[in-house]
Amino acid sequence: MIGRFTFAVLTLAVFGAAGCQTSSEVTQYEAALRQASSCDEVLQAIQEDAIAKVDLELQSFIDQDYYRWGGPVLVDGEAGNFGGAGGIPAAPQEDGNDGDAPSGFSDTNTQVADVDEADIVKVGDEGRKLYVIRGNGFHEFDSWPAQDTSKVADLEIEGGPMEMFVEDGRAVVFSRVSGVEALDDGELCQGYGYYPELGAADVAFEGPYYCGRPYVKITVIDISGDSPDAVREIYVDGWYSSSRRHDGIVRAVVQSSMHRPGTVPELWQFVWGGEAQPQTREQEIALARAWAVQAKEAIAETTLEQWVPAWGERVDGEIQERPVQCTDFYAPAPGLTNYGLTQIVGIDIANDDPTAITSILGEATQVYANRETLILAQPDWTWFERDNNTDRTAVHRFAVSSEAQRTPYQGSGFVPGVVNDQFSIDERDGVIRIATTRTTWHHQSGDVITPEVWVPPTTDNLVSTMRLDGNVLEIAGSTPGLAEGERIFSARFLGDLGYIVTFRQVDPLFAIDLSDPENPEVLGELKIPGFSDYMHPLGDTHLLTIGRDVDEVTQQDNGTALQIFDVSDPANPVLAHKALVGQGFSEANHNHKAFNFYEDKGLLAFPFVSYEGDFSSTLELWDVSAQNGLSRRGAVDHSDLVLDDCGGVPYAVEDFFYYCGYQPQITRGVFIDDFIYSISYGGVRVHDVNDLATPVATATY
C-alpha cells in the first residue's frame, strides 16, 4: 500500500414559507442560514423543515423501489461498497516572573495558536499545578518542584468527565450525564429500564430503549483555594462534540438529536406496521402517500417544546430550566439537513453572566476556530434524495470574541464532498481553506445514477477556497479532483501553505499550489509507503508526522511510524527521515492532543500501546531534529502503579484485562522544565528527560 501525500500551497433574512427544495442544484445562497426573531418563527422554521423532510422521505420511498423489489444491479462483478469517504500550534509556555516556577512547560497541542482546546490533562499556575481527569474525578497535583509532585485535592464530577479547560483560577469540566429529571419532565417516557410506559414526546415505537436523555454537563470549578469547589453547573440536552477557549470565554459545541415527536407517525410503521400487509408496490406507495398527509397534519399541530432540547442550570441546589434563546436560532432552507440541532454554548468562566446559546438546525460534524472565526461543517445528508450524484457539505461561519459569550452568524456556502476532521478546515485573512473527499455515484453510461443499473462509486479529493459575500460564502477557487479512488487521511494548513494526505492502495502523491486562491495549480508528485494520520510543523521548512508504515510490495502493515518531510521546496517535497515505532497504536494517530512536541527541547512524547508479544502501555520519548532525524530516547512504564481494586495489589502482566480495576494505560505526557510527566490511570510519574530509568517522583490517585 502507498499513500498519497498532497501538498497545497495557499495564499491566501426573515423566516418564511420556503417549501421543499427539489432541484438537483442548490445554490450557495440557499445554504445561508435564516435567523429567527421570535419563538414563533423558530417553530415555523422547524415545522417547515420537518414537512420538507416528509416530502423527501416520500419521494425517496417512491424512487427507491428497487431496494425492496429486486435490488440494484452491479456491473463488472464489482463489490457493492457504496461508502464514501490553520494555524500554528501554541508555543511552549515560559515564566519570567517568579523564581519558584519552572522556566517553561508544554501546553495542550492545539490546531491554532492562542485558541485553547479542552483535554484530559492541563497545566496550571505557570507550571506549578497539574490537573487530571480520571474516572469520575477531577484531580489536582502539585507539580513543582518536580521531586515534590503529589496529589493535593480531588473533586467528584457528576456523570462521566470527558475534557476540561483551566484558566485564571477556574476549571471547566465537560461530562456526560444520562437523564436530568428536572429537565426531562417525564415527557420522554414513564417508568424505568426496558419496555417502560410510552410517553408522548419522542417515542413512536414499542420495544427496548433507554429512558434517560443524554445531557452534557458543564461544571465550572474554583481552583484558586486549597480545594476545588464547583461554583456553576449547566446542563444541555445532547452530546458533547468539541469546544474552544478564547481567554476567559469557553464555547462548547453540543449536538442534539431532535427527532420528530411521537405524535408524528413513522413511514415504515404506517406502511408495514399494520396487521394487513401490502401485497403490491402500488399498495405500498398509496399507504406512503397517506402517511405523508397525516404526518404533515401532525407536524402542523406540534409545539416548540416538543422539538427543542432542554437546558438548565443549578441554582441554590435545584436545577432550573432555562428558556430557548429564540433570537439566536438559525435554520437553513427547509430539508437541507438531517434531524438534529447544533448548539454553541458560550460561557464566561470568570463570572456568572448568562449563558449564550446559538442554535443551528441540523447536526455539524466538524468544528474549527481561530481568534476571530468559528466554522461548522454540516454535511447535506439529503443530497442523494435530491437526485444529486455527489455528496456535499454546508460550511457555516460565525464570529467569536474573547469579550462576549455570543457567537454571531456571518454566512454560509456549500463545498463538494465531506470533511475528514478539524485540520481539513482553516481560515486566514478572510479566506476559508477546506479540504474534502468527494464521492460520486454513476450510471453505467456515466450519467447520474438511476434505479436500473448501479456501478460502484468513485472518490476524489480537492481543496477549495471560500470568501464571504454578504451572508454567502462563495467558492473562490478549487483544485481539480485529485487522487481518484482515495480519501483524505490528514490535512494541515500553515500560513500560506496547505498539505493533504490521501490513501487507499498504490498511487502517486500530489503537490499543489494554491497561492492564488482563484487559480490552483498542480505542481508535482511524491510516493511514500503508508500514510500519515497527523501532521505537525517542524520549523518553517519541515513537517513531522505520525501514521502507519505499509510495505510497498506485500502491503503488510508494519506498525506505527514517524516521518519528517522536507517541504522547503513545496513543488518537490522530500521524505527526509523515517523511524518505525513498532507494532501497536497510539492515541496520537487519531487525537492530536496526545501528540506533544516540545520544540524548546526537540523532544516528542506520545502514548503507545504495543501488541508485540504481551500488550504494554508506555509513554514514548523521541529526539526530533530536521537535520539529524528521529531517535528514540526511551519509554516510561506505569504497570506497577495500577492496583487491583479487588485485592489492592499491583497488576501483573497476565492480569492486564482483569475486571477489578483500570488497565495500566498511559494517556498523556507533559514537559515541565527538564522533566517529563507521564499520566496514566494509575497516577503521575516524573522523570528527568535525561534519565528515564529512575523516577524523580510518583503520585497516585
Q: Which residue has the higher pLDDT, 56 or 373?
A: 373
User: Tell me: the pLDDT tens digits for 493-502?
Assistant: 988 888 898 8
pLDDT of 88 reads 45
Ramachandran angles phi, psi of 308, nearest 5°: -80, 145
For range 445-461, the mean pLDDT: 67
Nearest to 324 by CA among 110, 95, 693, 42: 42
For range 558-570, the mean pLDDT: 92
E strand intervals along 370-419: 373-379, 392-399, 409-416
Burial of residue 624 (number of CB atoms within 10 Å: 0-12, 13-18, 19+):
buried
Q: Which residue has the higher pLDDT, 83 or 680?
A: 680
Is the omega angle on the peptide bond into residue 145 within 30 degrees of 0, that is, cis? Answer: yes
pLDDT of 593 reads 99
Distance CA 500, CA 479 (A): 12
Distance CA 439, CA 165 (A): 37
Distance CA 485, CA 678 (A): 41
pLDDT of 190 reads 37
Paired with 601 in beta bridges are: none
Nearest to 108 by CA among 97, 124, 96, 87: 124
Q: Which residue has the higher pLDDT, 27 or 587?
A: 587
Burial of residue 522 (number of CB atoms within 10 Å: 0-12, 13-18, 19+):
middle
Q: Which residue has the higher pLDDT, 368 or 516?
A: 368
> What confidence tier does 21 reach under pLDDT thresholds 50, 70, 90?
very low
Q: Which of these ranges, 79-93, 209-223, 457-471, has the smallest mean pLDDT? A: 79-93
Residue whose cell numbers read 474525578:
137
Q: Is the pLDDT of residue 23 over 80?
A: no
DSSP one-letter code for 47:
H
Q: Is the pLDDT of residue 133 over 70?
A: yes
User: Tell me: the pLDDT tens digits for 24-66?
Assistant: 344 565 789 999 999 999 999 999 999 999 999 998 888 764 3
Strands 675-680 and 666-672, by their bridges, are antiparallel
User: Tell me: the pLDDT tens digits for 236-287?
Assistant: 999 999 999 999 999 999 999 887 888 999 998 889 888 888 889 999 999 9
DSSP one-letter code for 530:
B
Q: Is the pLDDT of residue 67 over 60?
A: no
> What confidence tier does 1 reach under pLDDT thresholds 50, 70, 90?
very low
Q: Is the pLDDT of residue 473 over 80?
A: yes
User: Tell me: the pLDDT tens digits for 346-367?
Assistant: 999 999 899 999 999 999 999 9
E strand intervals along 53-144: 93-94, 104-105, 121-124, 129-134, 137-142
- How many residues appear in the chain? 701
Nearest to 256 by CA among 335, 182, 309, 183: 309
Q: Is the pLDDT of residue 510 over 90?
A: no
Distance CA 225, CA 204 (A): 50
Judge whether 313 and 345 are in contact, CB under 8 Å: no
Domain ranges of the chain: 34-83+262-304
Q: Which of these ranges, 347-356, 501-510, 542-551, has the smallest mean pLDDT? A: 501-510
Stated as kind and residue range, the H or E segment containing 462 is: strand 455-469
Average model confidence (pLDDT) for the chain? 84
Can you read off the three cell numbers belonging to residue 661?
480495576
Contacts of 473 (CB under 8 A, 6+ apart): 28, 31, 395, 397, 411, 412, 413, 432, 466, 467
Distance CA 562, CA 388 (A): 40
Rg of the Cα atoms in the chain: 27
Terminal Cα-to-Cα distance of the chain (whole angstroms) = 44
Can you read off the three cell numbers belonging to residue 333?
432552507
Contacts of 193 (CB under 8 A, 6+ apart): 211
Nearest to 567 by CA among 495, 516, 623: 495
For range 150-159, the mean pLDDT: 98
For range 96-104, the mean pLDDT: 74
